[in-house]
Amino acid sequence: MATVQNYKGLPLSPYPFESWMEHWQENSDQWIIWCAEVHCKRVALVASLVKILEKGNDHVYVVPLCKGHAVSDHAISIGGVKPVRVK
pLDDT in tens, 58-86: 999 999 999 999 999 999 999 899 999 99
Q: Read off the amino acid at residue 51.
A: K
Q: What are phi and psi of 14, to 5 degrees?
A: -80, 5
Closest CA to 5 of 77, 82, 55, 58: 77
pLDDT in tens, 27-50: 999 999 999 999 999 999 999 999
The pTM (predicted TM-score) of the whole model is 0.91
In this structure, the chain runs to a length of 87
